[in-house]
Amino acid sequence: MRFVHTADWQLGMTRRFLGAGRVGQTVGEAQARFAQARLDAVVALGEVAREQGAAFVLVCGDVFESNLVGPDVVGRACEALRTFTVPVLLLPGNHDPADASLVTRRADFARRCPPLVRVLDSPGVHEVAPGIEVVAAPWATKRPLSDLVGDRLRALEPAPEGVVRVLAGHGAVDVLSPDAHDPAVVRTDACRAALADGRVHYVALGDRHSTWALHGEPRIAYSGAPEVTSHEETDPGNVLLVEVVGGRTTTTPVRVGRWAFTRDEAHVDADDDLAALDARLSAVPSPERTALRLTCEGTVTLRQRTRLDEITEAHAPVFGALEIDTAGLVTRPDDADVDALGLTGFAADTARELAAAEDDPEALDALALLHRLAAR
C-alpha cells in the first residue's frame, strides 16, 4: 500500500517581504506569484499520487492559512483538489482547527468540494478502503490541553490482521519543541510504543515545514510543507511517498516545490568584489521564484557603495524578494569620491567637509545623495 503524506499547505498565506528591495516590483505582484506556486505544488503532489499508484493523499493539518481565508482562496483550493484522481484526506491543524469557523464546514467550500475530498474533523479511526485505516487526531481548538496524538494512540487496540493503519497528527514533537511544558507536545515515546505493538504502522505528522524523521524511527515523520514558507526552513518543498509492504514501511521524499528562500554573504572591499557580486546575482537560477537575504560586509569607498546600490537595484525587480543587510559594511570616502562629483566653489567645499566627517552617518548619507544626483 502506498500513499502520499503531506501537510502545511497553508493556502492563503502572505509573506510581506516578497517584492522587497531598494527598487523592485510591488509586493502584490510577487505575492500573487507565490500564492499561485502554492496551488501549483498541490496540483503537483496530486500528480505524484497518480503516477505512483498511491491509494490516497493524507494532509496532516493546516490546509489553509486560517479559517478566515476568503472565498477566492477556498474556490481556487477546490479547483486544485479537483485535479486529484485519488481520495484526499484533510486533517484540521492549528491554523485551521475544527471549531465553529472551520473552513471545510463553510457553504462556499461545500459547494465546490470535489467528491474525492474527505475531512477528518472527528477524532478516531476512519476506514479509507478495505484494509486501510487512518486514525485522525484533529485540532478542535488553537490551544489543546493534551497530546492529541497520544490521546488517540491510548484508545487503540493492535490493528487487525491484514489492516494497514496510519496515525494522522499535527503539532511539535517533544524532541523538537522549545517548550517542554506544553501539554499539546507530541510524545515520541508513545508513538514508538504504538509502532512496536502494531497499533499503527506509520505516524504522519504536520506542523514542521521541513521534511524530518525521528532519529532511529523513520516511521515517525514530518513531510514538511510542499512549498517553502521561511528562510529558517532546512528542507521544505517535499512530500513523502510512504509504502507499507509486508510489515515494512519506507518513505521517499519527492520534491514538488519550486520557490527558494535563501541567504548569502558577500565580502566587498574592491571593484572586483562588486563585479563578482553582480555576476553571482545574475547566475541565481529562477530569481523570480527566489527570496534572497544578502549580507554585505567590508570597507568601501563612496563610489563603490553607490555601485553596490546600483547593482542591487538592478537585480531587485526580477527577484521574488532581494533584501540587503549592510550593517557590516563600512563606507570611507576618499579624495577621489569628492573629485568625481565635478563640483566647484561652495559645493565642492561642502562635499569635502562631508567627506571629512566619516564617522557621521548623516554626513555620509548627504554625500551619497550628492554622488547619486551628480551621476544622474
Domains of the chain: 2-255 (3.60.21.10), 262-375 (no CATH)
pLDDT higher than threshold 80 for residue 103: yes
pLDDT for the residue numbered 1: 94
| Grid cell digits, residue 14 | 502572505
Report the distance separating Cα 112 and Cα 76, nearest Å: 10
* Residue 322 identity: L
From 68, 22, 80, 52, select the one nearest 227 (Cα to Cα): 80
C-alpha to C-alpha distance for 283 and 263, rounded to whole angstroms:
15
- pTM of the prediction? 0.88
Least confident of 62-71, 95-104, 221-230, 320-329: 320-329
Q: What is the largest CA-CA distance in the chain?
A: 95
Amino acid symbol at 53: G
Strand-strand pairing, 290-300 and 260-267: parallel
Give the integer Cα–Cα distance in Å for 289 and 259.
5
Q: Closest Cα partner for 100 from 140, 146, 143, 148?
A: 140
Q: Considering the chain, what percentage of its residues have pLDDT values greater than 90?
A: 78
Q: For 181-223, write each residue's pLDDT tens digit.
A: 899 999 999 999 999 999 999 999 999 999 999 999 999 999 9
Q: What is the pLDDT of residue 23?
A: 44
Contact 261, 289 (CB under 8 A): no
> Which pLDDT band, with edges at 50, 70 and 90, does 376 fall under?
low
Q: What is the mean pLDDT of residues 23-41?
A: 80
Q: Does residue 24 carry a pLDDT above 50?
A: no
H-helix or E-strand spanning residue 220: strand 217-222
Q: What is the mean pLDDT of residues 21-39?
A: 74
**What is the number of alpha carbons within 13 Å of residue 281 lying toward its C-beta?**
28
* Contacts of residue 189, Cβ cutoff 8 Å, sequence gap at least 6: none
SS3 assignment, position 189: helix
Confidence at residue 122, expressed as pLDDT on a 0 to 100 scale: 97
Nearest to 168 by CA among 116, 132, 205: 205
Measured CA to CA, the distance from residue 123 to residue 345 in angstroms comes to: 81
Cα gap 86→330, rounded to integer Å: 58
Average predicted confidence (pLDDT) for the chain: 91
According to the model, what pLDDT value does residue 22 have?
A: 41
Among 295, 294, 297, which residue's Cα sits nearest to residue 322? 294
Extended strands (E) in the chain: 2-6, 57-60, 88-91, 117-119, 124-129, 132-136, 164-170, 202-206, 212-214, 217-222, 238-245, 248-255, 260-267, 290-300, 321-331
pLDDT of residue 4: 98
d(CA 111, CA 117): 12
Greatest mean pLDDT range, 151-160, 296-305, 356-365: 151-160
Binning pLDDT at 50, 70 and 90, where does residue 123 land?
very high
User: What does the pLDDT read at residue 181?
Assistant: 86
In the structure, how many helices (H) and strands (E) does the chain have?
10, 15
pLDDT at 196: 96
Q: What is the pLDDT of residues 301-336, one digit of tens each?
A: 888 988 999 999 999 999 999 999 999 998 887 766
358 has a pLDDT exceeding 70: no
What is the b/e burial string over 271-286, where b = at least 16 CB atoms within 10 angstroms of the residue's CB? eebbeebbeebeebee
Terminal CA-to-CA distance of the chain, rounded, Å?
Answer: 67
